[in-house]
Structure 1
Amino acid sequence: MAVDREDSSVMSIANILKSFRYWPRIMGLLWATDAKSLIAIMILNLFHGISPIIVLILTKDLINSITYSWTEGFNVILKAFAILVAFTLLSQLLNLIQSYIESLFKVLLMNRINKLIMEKSVSLSLKDFENSEVQDALKLAQNEAGHRPYQIMQQMMSLISGIVTLISAAGMLIIFRWWMAFILLIIPFTSFYSFLRIGQQEFLVQYNRIPKMRKAWYYSYLMTNDKNFKEVKLYQLGKYLQRCYNGLFKSFYKEDKKIAKKRLSTGIIFQVINVIANVLMMVVVLRSAFLREIEIGTVVALTQTITMTQSNSQALISGILSLCQHNLFLKQLFIFLDLKVSKNDKGKRTDIMEIETVEFKNVSFMYPDTNRYALNNVSFKLKRGETMAIVGRNGSGKTTLMKILTGLYDDFKGDILINGISIRSFNQEALRNHMAVVCQDFVQYELNMRHNIGFGNVNRLERDDELLESARRAGIDDLVDQLPHGLDTQIGRLFDQGSQLSGGQWQRVAIARAFMRKADLYILDEPSSMLDPESELQVFEKFRELIHQHIGIFISHRYTSIKYADHIIMMDQGEVVEQGSHIELMKKDSMYAYLYKMQLSAYSDNDKEEVQYEMVSGDR
């Protein structure tokens, strides 16, 4: 999957106009968020648009009523004043109501956008998620799309009210001198192209810096995340990382300053033109008053109308430019939401009662953008009740095999058979319900212990007996008992009152999470990398108990831990170079035996004698 970065970054009038095609989707998004609030906001904005002209007319009537009162009495003034006060109070009340509705609507809209982004993220495959362009699209969606839809809504509403105000104000000027309205409307439109070009440049700057922004975030993450603190401190990386972050920030600031200068200089030029036009028109109005062609109230109304027409025409152009820019940013949200999901499980089999057999048949796999097979023609078969260990040097394909089996990658050659049926025929979610996995890079959930174990089966989160049984099987029942609030104790240091665990304890929690799942196939990828030898032995003993009458696969670098497996696969450069039982492989005296003996060379002489005994007593 690739994000169409080139098309997204081509800045032209045509592309900006194309970006408006998302308006129906934006309106659909706004409508789905809260239709009643949206209607109320639109009505209130229409009132807000016509309100200034009504105030202007009422003010004109009030001033002119002073002249009329000399012959008709003071009541004329009181009546005009009462109407103005009543309308002002009504306008202020409606403004407060509008602010209230909009504040709640904004919260709902941002929540809906975040939900859409999260839903899309979890629907992607691992291949998609590891794509840097997809990560860029996700980052921009998270950074910009959360507030842009609301800003677009506000801008649209402001445009509607601004157009109403502008038409009303221009109408008053047309009655007095039509050419004044024409000049005040045309001047801002002459600035449109200049500000549009600046907006284009600003978008391109923001768009092209996305990879650098992700790197800046990562530098900040390294310095502020507790998991990195020890190494950053011990290796004295803090100042270096700060310099890296500051270097990126300075480059961002330099680009932003350049754009700001262009916007300032362009704004000054057109502001001077506006002021000159404004002054000339004011002179025309004042001269008409001097010649007694208009009343004093009308003078006030016309001078305010000139100012209002000018400011609203400028605001209208500015609003259109902002909408263009918002559209270009919001387009990235829809690009991300429209990413095609690689895997389609519609119509696939869900009738999986139990996994009886797992068979790899000539499976080969190559990671995207590489030309070397991570797996090459791998074949083996496992039946219920059997265990298999996968060993090999780093980069030999052990973890890749696990990713293929669990459906994290699906574009492999050959086939994987579950109960004799191709894995491609099964619904992945249904199949994963029968699997329990401890990943090499397992997650340390900064939540309570209940969730850390219970995430293995979220439907059983409240079953304390099952949670404690899984903890017992993983050998952490004593740990749970010692926690201040048992299963409900906060784990980690990210939130208040958290209890931090050691690396080995975190790993056992991850194993307990896998044990929580009532699975047919258990896969442990480096389940003992953080455990001491005694704990490691306990874990594998519990694992052998757990997978009785199930299928077990575990990946390990510790050869002493896997010698009791029914089958051992030795992998090298993506290929299965040896397979058999521990005794059979020791008798072959090839790569497996060499690595096994090399690992034991650091152990006691008794262990070495055990190796010698195993090699000569192969019939045992």
Structure 2
Amino acid sequence: MNTINMKKAIKLIWSMGKSWIFISVFSNILLGIIPVLILITTKELVNSLANNIGDSNYNFVVPITLLILQLLISLASTLITNINDYIDKKFQLHLNYYLESEILKRASSIPLEYFDDNNFYDHLSRLDGSGNAFLAPFKSVIQIFRTIITLISMLGFLFSIHWSLVVFSLVVCVPMFIINSKFGDKRFWLLYNTTPEAREADYISQLIKVREASKEIRSFNLRDFLLHKWSTKFLKNNKANLLLAKKEHQSKIALDGASALFYGGAAFIIIWLIKKTKIQIGEFVVVGEAVHTTQSSINSIAVDLAQIYEKSLYINDYYKFVNYKTEDELNDRQEETQLLPNKLKKGIKLQNVSFKYLNSKKEILKNISLDIKPGEKIAIVGRNGSGKTTLVKCLSGLYEPTSGSILYDDIDAKSINPNEIRKKFSIIFQDFMRYYFKASENIAISSTDEINNKEKILATSKLADSHEFITKLDNGYNTLLGNFLGSGVDLSGGQWQKIAISRALFKEAEVLILDEPSSALDPITELNIYNKFNELSKDKTTIFISHRMASAKLADRILVLKDGMIIEEGTHEDLIKLDTLYAELYNSQAKWYQEQHEKEIQEVLV
């Protein structure tokens, strides 16, 4: 158990739930006393009736009073329990909100590289339901406090009859605690070790359910393959869980058998006491219940103590996650944070920049040096896996280089807050997001300060050629896009791309990056989009990535990447003369472009 993290948890619960703690403690004191009060009233009621059987003059005021008292005690118990449960639920929801918000804040603020690490995803998946796991140890402590009150009162009651009844009730306590602690620990580590398989099974399950994947699943007849894959992972987890449950229940059966033996011993003692002493029938009736309640109380304490240990592992896992350094926290370690000018005058410079992902030895970028002037149009080309997207992520402050430096107007990125760098960039990635919000929100989400600026949304949409089809939607710019969050309208791939382009333009950033956002379009349409971007970004620095060499001709300079290195650099004409990789890529596509162009001419003539 990590005592530092438990202290943090205690401090958090105390700061958020003082009233919850006080009410829970007080109500559980009352609930702890109630069982012995019921036993005492039952004993007096049975003795009163037994001692006066056959007495025609017996006054029934005493048993009626005792019955009414029992009823009131039961009603009080029900009332306190329900009030306590409601207060528990209210505080639990409050705590759930706080913990989940902290997880979301941390997940949205840590360096992007973490999202390329499977271990990070596994850790994040385990945190589901942290609110319940977080509160459980504290509820267990209060429950133990309540049970101890019940236990002490029961032991006192049993001791008043005979000391041996106390011994028989207590002796089963130690093995109960050991077994519950052992299996609490095993349950946590089972969850820890099966998280990757569980996450994969959940992913496949969601894949089958979501609309986006349904077309391919049917087109490629993937149903049996996916169901088999899901079933294998799911059943593997089930098998591990059932094996642990089997062992746990076998141990509990043995414990229950031991408890039954001790209970039988207590019954034997009661019979012996009836023969040897003048024990009344009321004591005989309630002593068995007292022994049973005592053993149940001991078992409850053992379970709660074990749960405190088990849930402390979850608490430790939570604090391990929130201890990931955010970008701001990493930046705070800098001695001095510098501000960027409103407009870059010298541009961006990369000096021997290399990058590799977390827990990976392979370098994606290798010693890249590059100068980008303000207003320059640069195309980055290369085969898949050459490092094009990684390069623009480093340029735009999404990734921090493993080695080397990136300078913005000669200011090292290491001394600049990453958020300040990102303000300079507007990016459309190949796998751009489709936000299932209103059309207007889809466009303006890139600059949320102006999300209600209707004039700007309209103007940007017209520039990106999305205005025409948006106005034809049922509710225009207020139309919900996609069917995920309600009865919305789904768009074609090209329409979604125009929405993404509108979003990039809405931000009005100094540097515009297009990472193959139009890859799903035909090359001629893509070329038209890049031509339009050239018009829209006259005063901006523009970097675009494309597999299509024809669009690269629009650039002032072309960078050719291979295996994470810049192997060629220059204009289209320069690189064609070199007759190396760029020329090979261009010539392999030139014939296709010519055929498409001739086809379009024929269609116009017809």
State if a TM-score over 0.5 links the two structures.
yes
Sort the Cα spacing of 1:452 and 1:579 in 2 relative to 1 into closer, same or farther, 3 A.
Answer: same
Q: Is the 8 A contact 1:475 1:539 kept in 2?
A: no
Q: 2:338 aligns with which of 342, 349, 355?
A: 349
Look up the SS of the partner of 2:370 in the other structure: strand
Match of 2:80 among 53, 77, 94: 94
Alpha-carbon deviation of 1:98? 1.4
Q: Secondary structure at the match of 1:348?
A: coil
Deviation at 1:67, TM superposition (A): 7.0
Structure-1 residue corresponding to 2:114:
128
Aligned CA distance change for structure 1 residues 302 and 517 (closer, same or farther; 3 Å): same
The 10-residue stretch of structure 1 (327-336 or 168-177) with the greater mean CA deviation from structure 2:
327-336
Aligned position for 1:254: 239
Code of the residue aligned with 2:95 in structure 1: it is L
1:48-67 residue CA offsets vs partner (Å, 9 max, x unmatched): 22221222223334444557
Question: Partners of 2:341 and 2:153 in 1: how far apart?
Answer: 69
Task: Report if the CA contact (8 A) 2:170-2:295 is conserved.
Answer: yes
> In the alignment, which residue of structure 2 is the partner of 1:438?
428
Q: CA deviation at 1:418?
A: 0.7
Normalising by structure 2, we get a TM-score of 0.91
Task: Supply the distance in 2 between the matched residues of 1:325 and 1:294 (Cα, whole angstroms).
Answer: 44
Work out whether 1:311 is the aligned partner of 2:296.
yes
Note if contact 1:436-1:514 (Cα within 8 Å) is conserved in structure 2.
Answer: yes
Matched residue of 1:236: which SS? coil
Structure 2 counterparts to residues 22-33 of structure 1, below 5 A? 22-33=5-16
- The corresponding residue for 2:471 is 481
Determine the structure 1 residue equivalent to 2:214: 229
Question: Is the Cα contact below 8 Å between 1:364 and 1:414 reproduced in 2?
Answer: yes
User: Which among 107, 116, 119 is matched to residue 102 of structure 2?
Assistant: 116
Assess if the C-alpha contact under 8 Å between 1:366 and 1:375 holds in 2.
yes
Task: Please give the secondary structure, in 1, of the residue aligned with 2:399.
Answer: coil
State the alpha-carbon separation in 1 of the partners of residues 186 and 77 from structure 2: 39
* Aligned positions of 1:296-445 closer than 5 A: 296-341=281-326, 344-346=330-332, 347-356=336-345, 357-445=347-435
Of 579, 582, 588, 1:598 maps to 588
Distance (Å, rounded) in 2 between the aligned partners of 1:415 and 1:32: 44
Shift in alpha-carbon separation, 1:137–1:85, aligned structure 2, 3 A: same
User: Which runs of 5 or more residues in structure 2 are unaligned?
Assistant: 599-606
| From 62, 68, 71, the counterpart of 1:76 | 62
Following TM superposition, by how much is the alpha carbon of 1:399 offset from its aligned partner in structure 2, in angstroms? 0.8
* Superposed CA offset, 1:136-183 (max 9, x none): 1111112x5243123333323322211111111111112221221122
Hey, what does 1:532 align to over in structure 2?
A: 522
Deviations 1:279-303 (CA, angstroms, capped at 9, x unpaired)? 2322333443455623333333323
Please state whether the residue corresponding to 2:202 is helix, strand or coil.
helix
CA distance in 2, matches of 1:523, 1:215: 33
Q: Match of 1:44, as an amino acid?
A: S
Q: 1:536 to 1:38 in 2, by over 3 A?
A: farther
Question: For residues 457-486 of structure 1, what are the alpha-carbon distances to aligned partners after superposition, in whole Å with 9 as ceiling and x for unaligned?
Answer: 111111111122222222111121011112
Give 2:40's aligned residue: 57
Structure 1 regions of 5+ residues with no counterpart?
1-17, 609-620
Amino acid at match of 1:443: M
Q: 2:462 aligns with which of 467, 472, 482?
A: 472
SS of the aligned residue for 1:571 comes to strand
- Is the 8 Å Cα contact of residues 352 and 431 (structure 1) preserved in structure 2? no
Output the amino acid matched with 1:145: S
Q: Which of 162, 168, 182 is equivalent to 1:197?
A: 182
- The whole-number CA distance in structure 2 between the counterparts of 1:380 and 1:281 is 86
- 2:264 maps to 1:282: no
Please tell me the residue identity of whatever aligns with 2:413. I
CA distance in 1, matches of 2:4, 2:70: 43
On the 8 A contact 1:361/1:379 being kept in 2, the answer is yes
1:207 aligns with 2:192: yes
Give the superposition deviation at 1:33.
4.2
Q: CA deviation at 1:23?
A: 3.0
Identity %: 29
Instruction: Name whichever of 343-352 and 474-483 sits farther off.
Output: 343-352
Give the equivalent residue in structure 1 for 2:225.
Answer: 240
Is 1:505–2:495 an aligned residue pair? yes
C-alpha separation in 2, matches of 1:607 and 1:312: 85
Q: CA deviation at 1:369?
A: 4.4
Q: Name the CA distance, whole Å, in 2 between partners of 1:161 and 1:605.
A: 84
Distance in 1 separating the partners of 2:351 and 2:92:
54
1:234 Cα offset (Å)? 1.4
1:148 maps onto 2:133 in alignment: yes
Distance of aligned partners of 1:87 and 1:191 in 2 relative to their CA distance in 1, 3 Å threshold? closer
Which SS does the other structure have where 2:592 is aligned?
Answer: coil
CA separation in 1, counterparts of 2:362 and 2:273? 86
The answer to whether the 8 A contact 1:355-1:434 is kept is no
Q: In 2, distance between residues paired with 1:555 and 1:24?
A: 51
Counterpart CA distance in 2 for 1:146 and 1:547 is 48
Cα distance in 2 between the residues matched to 1:297 and 1:256: 46
Structure 1 residue 72: Cα displacement:
8.8
Counterpart for residue 186 of structure 1: 171
1:103 matched to which residue of 2? 89
Which amino acid counterpart does residue 70 of structure 2 have in structure 1? Answer: L
Partner of 2:144: 159
Contact 2:439 2:478 in 1 (8 A): yes
Deviations 1:543-590 (A, max 9, x none): 223322221111111121231222221222222222222233334444
Q: What is the CA-CA distance between 1:45 and the residue it aligns to? A: 2.0
Q: Which amino acid counterpart does residue 360 of structure 1 have in structure 2?
A: L
Distance 2:160 2:585 in 1: 96
After superposition, the C-alpha distances for 1:227-279 in whole angstroms (9 at most, x for unaligned) are 22222211111101111111222222222222222222222222222112212
C-alpha separation in 1, matches of 2:51 and 2:62: 7
Partner amino acid for 1:207? Y
Superposed CA deviations along residues 344-376 of structure 1, whole A, max 9, x for unmatched, are 122522354223311222322233444443222
1:275 and 1:99, CA in 2 relative to 1: closer, same or farther beyond 3 A?
A: same
Q: Does structure 1 residue 43 correspond to structure 2 residue 26? A: yes
Q: Which runs of 4+ in 1 moved over 6 A?
A: 67-72, 605-608
- Aligned letter for 2:456? E
Q: Taking structure 1 as the reference length, what is the TM-score of the superposition?
A: 0.89
Size of the aligned set, in residue pairs, is: 590
User: Which amino acid is 2:38 matched to?
Assistant: V
2:341 & 2:42 partners in 1: Cα distance? 78
Q: Could you tell me how far apart the structure 2 residues matched to 1:436 and 1:367 are? A: 23
Quick check: 1:355–1:521 contact (8 Å CA) kept in 2?
Answer: no
Matched-pair contact (CA < 8 Å) for 2:184–2:306:
yes
Question: CA 1:545–1:39 in 2, change beyond 3 Å: closer, same or farther?
Answer: farther
Change (3 A) 1:368 1:266: closer
Q: Distance in 1 between matches of 2:235 and 2:596?
A: 62
Matched, 1:138 2:124: yes
The letter for the 1-side match of 2:421 is L
Residue pairs, 1:509-520, within 5 angstroms:
509-520=499-510
Counterpart code for 2:558: I
| CA-to-aligned-CA distance 1:516-555 (integer Å, 9 cap, x gap) | 1021111111122122345424422332233222211111
Distance between the aligned counterparts of 2:596 and 2:419, measured in 1? 48
Deviation, 1:403, is: 1.2
- Name the structure 2 match of 1:10: none
